[in-house]
Structure 1
Amino acid sequence: MADGRNIAGARVRRPRRYSMRTGLLALVVACIAPALVVASVAVYERYVVQKERIFRDTIFLARNLSAILDRELTGVEAGLQMLASSPDLRAGDLAGFQERAGELMRFQIVDSYVLTDREGRQLAHTQAPVGEALPMSGASAELARVFHTGAPVLTGLFGGGASDSPALALCMPVLRGDKVVYSLNVRILPERIGGVLGRRSLPDGWVAAVLDGAGTIVARTRDAPRFVGQKAVPALARAVQQEKEGSLETVTKEGAPVYTAFSRSSLSGWTVAAGAPMSLVTTDLYRAIAWVALGALFAVGLGLWLALRLANRLTSAVQGLVAPALALGKGRAVDLPGTRVKEVAEVGGALQRASRMLARAQHLAHYDPLTGLCNRVLFSELVLRELAVAQRSGEPFAILAIDLDGFKAVNDTHGHAAGDAVLKEAAERMAGAIRVSDVAARLGGDEFAVLLIGANRENARLVAEALVESLSQPYPGVRAAVSASVGVAVFPQSGMTLRQLLERADVALYKAKEQGKRRVESDL
């Protein structure tokens, strides 16, 4: 009896049940959740891309400002060398020397020229009449290095001189034979260096500064009187001591969060730092998050409303089956509607197979199957994308058209298998000779092209010459001599459209071949 009761109890045990309405509501949430995740990932990816673009813009700005400052300092150094060897100075004509120096100052960023002896006494000063008693030099400790090394010296910030305002000095040795007899110095005010930085118009909220080798601010585009002479913020000061160039997230001296990039000058040893406000990216991020949240609320509300309506209709439809079921119980004929159910496993398998086939088709459509380089279609898309960026930023870029000289002889002598090996080897050499950010492509046959991002004509020519040298080296197992000819086209000088740039690069390539091959030619 006990066993019978247990068996009976097992028969009447019912599984846990849930309503159709509850199931549909859960389905709505399950369907919206992946879309919300995808939208969140897309917002984050957009944020990352924008942040990378800001870092790229700031490093380009830092490099550009560093180059501008180097040009100015090169001009100052050239002026010092000219005055140090001038006949007036050799003859001891200090009045003539001061007159010549005063004329030169009009074209430079210097504040004054000063001539000092080994003891730091000032013998001539362009801001004082000839013969007037002059004080000791304000940077005498660093000036002594000129007499010891016989080489130019760029000092740090110091006070004194004609005024109490901080200044820097570039010192040039004056030689008599092999002996340093004087130090010819120029005094440079931080505001003059700030004026050099100001020649490049900065976007709103951006800031740029020049740091000396010790991390001290020697010039700044914003609030210069307040911060010149102070140390840079600790994170930036550490970074510039450890690396020649880089980027980081930090704060300004005022405490504003910025994306900062820096580049050190090989001429002066100074570092130019440029900072872009984080609000450029975070404002868009917060706006996108708000839109995603609003969209999610709208989607959930709409989905719940539709699910409730559908649940009511399905409930009514299921309840309509009661009469047919009772009719079946009574033995009457029942006309039941047919239904179709899709097998989820088969659909999922089909989607996976379709995804793999699509991925392979996309790869074959954009990459050369022999060399692994991108093909003409993808290369054109990348050039068009860089054109759009360059037209907004004004930054140049270059296209190299490359052709292998003597490649036909490889196929004729060794066969097409050897020719394919040469093409693959050339592609590997090409990829190794360019930056990771640049793009190499095989356009067909033995024709290749390279996109050099951010390259001007001089940089493009250096890369092209390196490619010619690399591609002209002997190829394993090939007796025929193979070299390369390269044509260079640079935006915007060579053209403003994809077609113009490719045509100019091809024209330059043909010119290189006509001039004897294994060479680089530009379109201009």
Structure 2
Amino acid sequence: MRMNRLLGVAPDPSSEASGQGAPTPGRYSIRASLTGLVAACLAPALLVSGYLVHENYGQHRARLERDALLQARGLAAALDREFSGVVSGLRVLSTSPALAVDDLRGFHERARGALAFQIVDNYVMTDRQGRQRVNTLRDFGEPLPETGTPAELQRVFETGKPVVTDMFIGPVTGKPVIAIGVPVFRQGQVVYSLNVGLSLERIAEVLNRLAMPGHWVAAVLDGTGTIVARTRDPEKYVGQKATADVMELLDTEPAEITISSRSMEGIPTYAGLARSSVSNWSVVVGAPRSAVEAGFYRSIAWLLASAAAAFTVGLWVAASLSARISGSMRALVEPALSLGSGSPTEYLPPSRLKETEAVSRAIVQAGRMLNDARRQARHDPLTGLPNRLLFDELASNRLAEAHRHGTSLATLAIDLDRFKAVNDTHGHEAGDTVLIAAASRIAGLLRESDVVARLGGDEFVVLLGDAGQGEAEHVGGKLVAALSAPYPGVVPEVSCSVGIALHPKDGHTVAELCLHADQALYEAKRTGKRRVIVYR
């Protein structure tokens, strides 16, 4: 009776009356069970996918923060090199003989001449009272400002060490500038501060030397947190203070740090801050968080959409399987009733579930055919060697390993000399025989770890792992000797030329190495054939 109810078969009235048709508690339909199975299978996959999406977001965020800090560190180093170069030039100029005898007119002439050899705007020399004694922007003897010298330059007299000032308004030019000063000694005492004036455009040039993604922003801050140079909208923000969270870091945090911040425009960013090692300046580089968060939210949306689609497909599959199983069970009702009545049927229809066995055999057969098709697609049908598609894949993997381990690779481009004459003299069947023999000779000279492929026609390429120039030339010579040996039944004398390109000297990608190896091969063909040429 339970089977009749489950399969939708009308129950026997007599059994209903006797109470035998009452449903058994704790039983579920096939469709409900399969639906629960679908949900149970999808739930772990959904959780794991969500975890992987979150981990991927974390890795992308960490990489973005690291890249921002690396950019800030590189900009700070470039700024330090610029300052150090200026300080070196100032130190040389501070030893001028004219200063030893206080010949300021003579020093003024030399300082003006030095402007042609150093990228600075002007030279200024101040005394202990901050008065300008020499300024190359004015002719010697013209009145000079007695005020306006930055107070930071007083530290030159106090410490006897170079000083980089914050931004100030130049008393002569009336424009925002910075100054770098070094002491001028006389008999062991600091008598003057020799300074250079640098316009903010000089700092902007340093900032713009390093390439950054277009949507990133970088700024140089002086010791007070004032923006001295900026990659985006400098005319709007130069001269303003940095954002409050960056200002807090300038007095409390270490030399390098990454933070979640907002740019002056209010754009959320992951910012890297690096301090200058020769001044109290800092460099801040901000990468928009949207570069990571947009992908994160997009991945979440794809995950939810995929889960919904998978659950929908699962429900459809569950309904389909339920219908098949129910149909198979219904087919058993009549034979079972016949068996109960004592008149069993002589024919039992096959179960529809047996189709799974046929499907399995079909899938195995299809898998074999697919493997054969893949092999034919990735190997040369004539020689059995890998073709260009498989070579690019294998070479890319070997190149990635070489990058990780710092090892060298060699790419050998091989072309048979006078191969066309074989086809013209004996026909293409003889040419195919030569190609097969050449492939066999090449493979016989290589290690199992090396890669050889036929690119088409009479062109072959070899990738030697962990091989320098010497070993590559040695193998190339062996290949020339082997492929130049006589081919049975072939009259034209066939030889080969080899071009070599080395990683990392000649390229960092498969395409670059193959291009340069081909150029070396062309040179070998042009200069007489039957030789090995290394790319220069």
Query: Normalising by the residue count of structure 2, what TM-score does the alignment of the two structures yield?
Result: 0.59
Distance 2:148 2:157 in 1: 16
1:17-63 CA-to-partner distances (Å, cap 9, x unmatched) read: 43222222222222223333333333333322222322232222222
Q: Structure 2 matches for 1:392-411, cutoff 5 A?
A: 399=406
- The residue that corresponds to 2:400 in the other structure is 384
CA gap 1:400/1:17 in 2 versus in 1, 3 angstroms: closer
CA gap 1:113/1:237 in 2 versus in 1, 3 angstroms: same
Q: 1:162 aligns with which of 165, 169, 172?
A: 172
> SS of 2:176's equivalent?
coil
- The residue that corresponds to 2:154 in the other structure is 144
Q: Which amino acid aligns with 1:210?
A: V
Distance 2:307 2:185 in 1: 77
Q: Alpha-carbon deviation of 1:86? A: 0.7
- The residue that corresponds to 2:127 in the other structure is 117
Q: Alpha-carbon deviation of 1:198? A: 0.7
Distance 2:238 2:178 in 1: 12
- Do the aligned residues in 1 keep the contact of 2:126 with 2:133 (CA within 8 Å)? yes
Distance 1:23 1:158 in 2: 78
CA gap 1:277/1:13 in 2 versus in 1, 3 angstroms: closer
- The residue that corresponds to 1:36 in the other structure is 46
Are residue 255 (structure 1) and residue 270 (structure 2) matched?
A: no
Q: Alpha-carbon deviation of 1:236? A: 2.7
Structure 1 stretch displaced more, 265-274 or 197-206: 265-274
Q: Which amino acid aligns with 2:93?
A: L
- The residue that corresponds to 2:341 in the other structure is 330
- The residue that corresponds to 1:91 in the other structure is 101
- The residue that corresponds to 1:213 in the other structure is 223
Q: Alpha-carbon deviation of 1:385? A: 6.0
Q: 2:326 aligns with which of 315, 324, 334?
A: 315
- Do the aligned residues in 1 keep the contact of 2:57 with 2:292 (CA within 8 Å)? yes
Q: Alpha-carbon deviation of 1:328? A: 4.3
- Do the aligned residues in 2 keep the contact of 1:262 with 1:272 (CA within 8 Å)? yes
- Do the aligned residues in 1 keep the contact of 2:328 with 2:351 (CA within 8 Å)? no
CA gap 1:296/1:398 in 2 versus in 1, 3 angstroms: closer
Q: Structure 2 matches for 1:431-450, cutoff 5 A?
A: none
Q: Which has the larger radius of gyration?
A: 2
Q: Structure 2 matches for 1:363-378, cutoff 5 A?
A: none
CA gap 1:146/1:398 in 2 versus in 1, 3 angstroms: farther
- Do the aligned residues in 1 keep the contact of 2:218 with 2:285 (CA within 8 Å)? yes
Q: Which amino acid aligns with 2:231?
A: T
- The residue that corresponds to 2:288 in the other structure is 277
Distance 1:189 1:38 in 2: 56
Q: Alpha-carbon deviation of 1:253? A: 0.9
Distance 2:505 2:70 in 1: 20
CA gap 1:208/1:46 in 2 versus in 1, 3 angstroms: same
Distance 1:383 1:327 in 2: 72
Q: Structure 2 matches for 1:196-207, cutoff 5 A?
A: 196-207=206-217
- The residue that corresponds to 1:298 in the other structure is 309
Q: Alpha-carbon deviation of 1:219? A: 2.0
Q: Structure 2 matches for 1:38-57, cutoff 5 A?
A: 38-57=48-67
CA gap 1:325/1:248 in 2 versus in 1, 3 angstroms: same
Q: Alpha-carbon deviation of 1:90? A: 2.6
Distance 1:99 1:385 in 2: 60
1:227-249 CA-to-partner distances (Å, cap 9, x unmatched) read: 23333223333334311112222
Distance 1:304 1:75 in 2: 72
CA gap 1:493/1:96 in 2 versus in 1, 3 angstroms: farther
CA gap 1:400/1:243 in 2 versus in 1, 3 angstroms: farther
- Do the aligned residues in 1 keep the contact of 2:35 with 2:315 (CA within 8 Å)? yes
> SS of 1:120's equivalent?
coil
Q: Alpha-carbon deviation of 1:77? A: 0.2
> SS of 1:261's equivalent?
strand
Distance 2:221 2:505 in 1: 34
Distance 1:257 1:22 in 2: 48
- The residue that corresponds to 1:130 in the other structure is 140
Structure 1: any 5+ residue segments left out of the alignment?
A: 1-7, 341-379, 388-396, 402-490, 499-524
CA gap 1:137/1:225 in 2 versus in 1, 3 angstroms: farther
- The residue that corresponds to 1:64 in the other structure is 74
- The residue that corresponds to 1:418 in the other structure is none
Q: Alpha-carbon deviation of 1:89? A: 2.5
CA gap 1:338/1:308 in 2 versus in 1, 3 angstroms: closer
Distance 2:190 2:58 in 1: 56
- Do the aligned residues in 2 keep the contact of 1:191 with 1:224 (CA within 8 Å)? no
1:242-272 CA-to-partner distances (Å, cap 9, x unmatched) read: 1111222211111112222122222223222
Q: Alpha-carbon deviation of 1:121? A: 1.0
Q: Alpha-carbon deviation of 1:146? A: 1.7
- Do the aligned residues in 1 keep the contact of 2:204 with 2:229 (CA within 8 Å)? yes
Q: Structure 2 matches for 1:165-180, cutoff 5 A?
A: 165-180=175-190
- Do the aligned residues in 1 keep the contact of 2:111 with 2:123 (CA within 8 Å)? yes
CA gap 1:249/1:153 in 2 versus in 1, 3 angstroms: same
CA gap 1:400/1:176 in 2 versus in 1, 3 angstroms: farther
- Do the aligned residues in 2 keep the contact of 1:260 with 1:275 (CA within 8 Å)? yes
- Do the aligned residues in 2 keep the contact of 1:157 with 1:168 (CA within 8 Å)? yes
Q: Which amino acid aligns with 1:277?
A: P
1:56-92 CA-to-partner distances (Å, cap 9, x unmatched) read: 3222222222221111111100111112111233333
1:359-383 CA-to-partner distances (Å, cap 9, x unmatched) read: xxxxxxxxxxxxxxxxxxxxx9798
- The residue that corresponds to 1:230 in the other structure is 240
Structure 1 stretch displaced more, 189-198 or 39-48: 39-48
